[in-house]
């Protein structure tokens, strides 16, 4: 969902101010903890949207591909207000992990995060950006996030077409097959 005019008036000046700061410096916007949490969530969402949209705007290999213009910004709520800073490295949080899998096509192991949470965040991103995030999927068995065609339960096997075709069936079906093959059984 796009930012409202009020959110833009609050958020963009903070982002612009933080982008001018060197690493290790931050902006503290004094507000209530509740307002700080609200703004931090919106800033993080805006940053992730910028990163996802960058995959449509730039070619792979471009420095902003999969990151967007605000990838180095981090926002979080504190008792005194909203703290916004720049980081030298992308944070290792679920949203970034999902975005980076879509951007790099490389799998990511998410073990510390509950599978339900991973699926919840991924579904939200897929609803909003089906073309970009639609190929990202989660494997509960390997605890990994992948990009591409989802694995299926079908397997390609070799068969012997020269001999008799054997059918594996459950016990009840096997008994019926034996009765059918037995010429003494009427």
pLDDT digits (tens, 9 = 90+) for 74-110: 999 999 999 999 988 877 888 899 999 999 999 999 8
State the residue range of the domain holding 11: 1-90
Do residues 122 and 135 both lie within one domain?
A: yes
Do residues 46 and 52 touch, judged by C-beta distance below 8 A? no
Q: What is the pLDDT of residues 19-34, one digit of tens each?
A: 999 988 999 999 999 9
Q: CA angle at residue 103 from 99 to 104, to 5 degrees?
A: 120
pLDDT average, residue stretch 49-64: 93
- Specify the number of domains making up the chain: 2
More confident residue, 11 or 186: 11
How many whole angstroms separate alpha carbon 71 and alpha carbon 46?
10
In this prediction, residue 141 carries a pLDDT of 86
CA distance 75 to 52: 18
Q: Is residue 160 part of a domain?
A: no
- Average pLDDT over every residue of 145-162: 72
Between CA 49 and CA 47 the distance in angstroms is: 5
Q: Around Cβ 36, how many Cβ atoms within 10 Å?
A: 23
Residue 73 CB burial class (10 angstroms; 0-12, 13-18, ≥19) = buried
For the residues 176-185, what does the mean pLDDT come to?
48
Does some domain include residue 144?
Answer: yes
pLDDT confidence of 7, banded at 50, 70, 90? confident
Together in a domain, 69 and 98: no
111: in domain: yes
Which pLDDT belongs to residue 149?
Answer: 79
Instruction: Judge whether 28 and 83 are in contact, CB under 8 Å.
Output: yes
Contacts of 88 (CB under 8 A, 6+ apart): 23, 72
CB 132 within 8 A of CB 56: yes
| Mean pLDDT for the stretch of residues 148-164 | 67
On whether the pTM is more than 0.85, the answer is no
Indicate whether 12 and 66 sit together in one domain. yes
Look up residue 76 and give its DSSP letter.
E
Shared domain check, 49 and 5: yes
């Amino acid at each position: 969902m796009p930012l409202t005019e009020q959110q833009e008036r609050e958020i963009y000046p903070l982002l612009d101010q933080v982008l001018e700061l060197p690493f290790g410096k931050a902006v503290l916007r004094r507000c209530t903890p509740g307002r700080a949490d609200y703004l931090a969530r919106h800033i993080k969402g805006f940053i992730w949207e910028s990163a996802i949209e960058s995959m449509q705007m730039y070619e792979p290999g471009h420095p902003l591909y999969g990151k967007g213009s605000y990838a180095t910004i981090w926002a979080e709520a504190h008792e005194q207000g909203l703290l916004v800073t720049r980081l030298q490295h992308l944070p290792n949080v679920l949203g970034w992990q999902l975005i980076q899998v879509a951007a790099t096509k490389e799998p990511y192991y998410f073990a510390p995060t509950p599978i339900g949470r991973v699926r919840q965040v991924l579904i939200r991103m897929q609803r909003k950006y089906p073309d970009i995030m639609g190929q990202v999927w989660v494997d509960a068995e390997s605890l990994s996030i992948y990009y591409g065609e989802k694995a299926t339960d079908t397997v390609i096997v070799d068969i012997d077409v020269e001999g008799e075709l054997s059918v594996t069936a459950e016990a009840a079906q096997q008994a019926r097959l034996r009765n059918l093959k037995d010429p003494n059984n009427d």
